[in-house]
């Protein structure tokens, strides 16, 4: 070892005490804003030296007027301090920050989805009775063709059954006037609506903040999904959240602006789901499997019509789901058990399902499908999509002939069973129900949606849309992620 290693180390250079100040920023700051004098004292000097220096000894530029209390870092709601610099004006207020110790916040989150795929028709068009048909298209009775009846004008598509009384006047679609997106006027209108509801006791003002979660592809990048945080939300004593979602003012606002409004309490678990449960038919896939079976079977030739009749009766409430399912399965007696394999290539996965499931998997969220359909297809689809759980009805196949007996093994996976399975899976995984999301479209999904912390109606029947916690009526199930507060940039990272 060299003797040089034993030589005394060179002492590190340091500033003399006379050159040091009590401000780290003042010593190390390299950048000075233009037109700012060298004697400028920043907020760091005020804060660091305040305890050791009296107000009277501070340089004149920072001597506060008499009677002004020292700023303690907590803005005053009545007179928030304002920073005014060249190119900067910032008001220090915090209505949406953490509440004071011993209190709690009652924030409400509203997610506004613009329904760009379902534009509304203006009421300014001629009524169906007065509409003129193209040349040669007039019906024998001298009426306009059925196809000319606007979808929002009456509960019928046939002029022969058109109601004698005019339909209730719909509000004019304001998105036609102010922009086919979630416009500033749309947000203003919503905030004005929410301000009409009573606030909790002790609250005098409604504060709000908003974020754009999804933008369109136009050069101006208009917002299509906007999240608003209201602080505080309307008084729950006056109107519980479940009733607020169904309020006539909310419904009318949605019709006027062509949006869906999802209202949720701004809790911690809103942003962190741990289990998402899906229905299968018309949710994970676009079809109804029982109808696919009937349509692909040619013998007997009237099978499709008989299955459709039972389905129609069930939709009208004439048959319970369990009875309707058993009756339809009975019609399949004698068919080969391999027919489910033949349907695999026909299944059409709903748009957005695959990237949605990739995103949920990356977030560590468990997934399940609870179907009132057939287990052979449900299990196969769950394997294809990478779902963690799959439950459906198991039909009996005769071992000797390999054909369906027309019987169902075990309990029918109907409304009650879906709720039980959701609770069982959550319990097995140790997941609170507050962190469970259920997505479906039919009345037999309502009980599981009610048991979950969030129930989402996906392009659902009218009753389901009314009863669910939230509703999505878009063309991609990926829209579900906006309910958790993710924006497009974050979603693109999750689905890569």
Instruction: For 98-138, write each residue's pLDDT tens digit.
Output: 777 887 778 999 999 999 777 666 554 443 333 343 444 44
Res. 222: pLDDT tops 90 = yes
For 464, phi and psi rounded to 5 degrees?
Answer: -65, -40
pLDDT value at position 269?
A: 87
What's the CATH number for 106-114+171-263? 3.30.70
Res. 15: pLDDT tops 80 = no
pLDDT value at position 11?
A: 56
User: Distances in Å between the alpha carbon of 212 and those of 29, 154, 192, 282, 487?
Assistant: 36, 35, 19, 29, 7
User: Distances in Å between the alpha carbon of 265 and those of 107, 110, 259?
Assistant: 6, 9, 20
Confidence of residue 475 (pLDDT cuts 50, 70, 90): very high
pLDDT value at position 133?
A: 39
Regarding predicted confidence, which is higher, 8 or 171? 171
Mean pLDDT on 81-88: 67
pLDDT value at position 230?
A: 93
Using a CB cutoff of 8 Å and minimum separation of 24, what contacts does 405-412 make? Answer: 405/333, 406/329, 406/330, 406/331, 406/332, 406/333, 406/334, 407/329, 408/325, 408/326, 408/329, 412/321, 412/322, 412/325, 412/326, 412/372
Contact 80, 438 (CB under 8 A): no
Regarding predicted confidence, which is higher, 290 or 281? 281
Which ranges of 60-206 would DSSP assign to H, the alpha helix?
175-178, 184-194
Using the Cα atoms of residue 265, residue 267, residue 272 and residue 276 in order, give the sign of their dihedral: negative
Termini Cα distance of the chain: 56
Domain boundaries, the chain: 106-114+171-263, 273-287+342-493
pLDDT value at position 154?
A: 52
Instruction: Name the token pair of 378.
Output: 């449900």
Mean pLDDT on 437-450: 94
pLDDT value at position 57?
A: 47
Res. 348: pLDDT tops 70 = yes
Residue with tokens 């009573």, as numbered in its chain = 198
pLDDT value at position 347?
A: 95
Q: Global pTM? A: 0.75
Nearest residue to 408 (alpha-carbon basis) of 315, 331, 297, 338: 331
pLDDT value at position 492?
A: 97
Fill in the DSSP letter of residue 283: I
CA distance 383 to 391: 12
Nearest residue to 385 (alpha-carbon basis) of 364, 356, 413: 356
Selected catalytic residue, list 106, 260, 279, 322:
279
Confidence of residue 35 (pLDDT cuts 50, 70, 90): low
Res. 322: pLDDT tops 60 = yes
Res. 466: pLDDT tops 80 = yes
Mean pLDDT on 364-379: 95
pLDDT value at position 431?
A: 98
Res. 316: pLDDT tops 70 = no
Mean pLDDT on 174-196: 93
Selected catalytic residue, list 106, 266, 281, 441:
281
Active-site residue flag, 279: yes
CA distance 324 to 330: 10
Active-site residue flag, 441: no
User: Distances in Å between the alpha carbon of 37 and those of 34, 42, 69?
Assistant: 9, 11, 27
Instruction: For 223-270, write each residue's pLDDT tens digit.
Output: 999 999 998 899 999 989 999 999 999 999 999 999 999 999 998 889
The yes or no reply on domain 273-287+342-493 and CATH 3.40.1000.10 is no
Percent of the chain clearing pLDDT 90 (strictly above): 48
């Amino acid at each position: 070892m060299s003797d040089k290693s034993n030589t005394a180390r060179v002492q590190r250079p340091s500033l003399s005490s006379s050159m040091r100040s009590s401000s780290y920023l003042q010593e190390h700051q390299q950048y000075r804003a233009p037109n700012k004098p060298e004697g400028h004292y920043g907020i760091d000097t005020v804060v660091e030296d305040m305890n050791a220096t009296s107000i009277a000894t501070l340089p004149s530029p920072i001597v506060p007027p008499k009677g002004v209390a020292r700023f303690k870092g907590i803005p005053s709601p009545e007179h928030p301090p304002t920073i005014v610099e060249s190119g900067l004006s910032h008001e220090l207020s915090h209505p949406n920050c953490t509440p004071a110790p011993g209190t709690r916040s009652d924030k409400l989150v509203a997610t506004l989805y613009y329904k760009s795929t379902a534009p509304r028709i203006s009421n300014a068009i001629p009524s169906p009775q007065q509409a003129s048909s193209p040349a040669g298209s007039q019906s024998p009775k001298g009426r306009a063709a059925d196809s000319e009846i606007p979808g929002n004008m009456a509960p019928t598509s046939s002029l022969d059954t058109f109601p004698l009384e005019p339909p209730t006047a719909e509000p004019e679609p304001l998105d036609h006037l102010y922009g086919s997106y979630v416009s500033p006027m749309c947000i203003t209108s919503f905030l004005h609506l929410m301000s009409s509801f009573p606030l909790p006791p002790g609250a005098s003002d409604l504060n709000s903040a908003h974020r754009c979660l999804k933008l369109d592809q136009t050069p101006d990048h208009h917002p299509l999904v906007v999240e608003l945080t209201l602080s505080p939300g309307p008084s729950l004593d006056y109107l519980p959240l479940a009733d607020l979602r169904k309020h006539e003012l909310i419904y009318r606002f949605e019709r006027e602006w062509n949006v869906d409004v999802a209202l949720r309490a701004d809790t911690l678990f809103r942003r962190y789901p741990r289990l998402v449960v899906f229905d299968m038919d018309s949710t994970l896939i676009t079809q109804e499997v029982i109808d696919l079976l009937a349509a692909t079977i040619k013998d007997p030739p009237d099978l499709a019509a008989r299955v459709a009749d039972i389905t129609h009766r069930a939709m009208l409430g004439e048959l319970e789901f369990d009875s309707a399912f058993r009756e339809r399965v009975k019609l399949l007696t004698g068919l080969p058990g391999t027919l489910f394999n033949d349907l695999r290539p026909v299944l059409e996965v709903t748009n957005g399902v695959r990237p949605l499931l990739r995103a949920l998997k990356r977030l560590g969220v468990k997934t399940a499908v609870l179907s009132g359909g057939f287990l052979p297809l449900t299990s196969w689809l769950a394997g294809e999509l990478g779902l963690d759980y799959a439950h459906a009805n198991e039909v009996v196949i005769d071992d000797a002939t390999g054909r369906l007996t027309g019987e169902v093994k075990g309990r029918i996976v109907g409304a009650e069973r879906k709720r039980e399975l959701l609770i069982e899976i959550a319990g097995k995984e140790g997941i609170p129900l507050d962190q469970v999301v259920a997505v479906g479209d039919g009345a037999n999904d309502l009980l599981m949606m009610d048991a979950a912390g969030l129930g989402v109606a996906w392009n659902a029947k009218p009753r389901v849309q009314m009863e669910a916690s939230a509703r999505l009526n878009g063309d991609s199930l990926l829209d579900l992620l906006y309910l958790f507060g993710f924006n497009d940039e974050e979603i693109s990272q999750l689905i890569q």
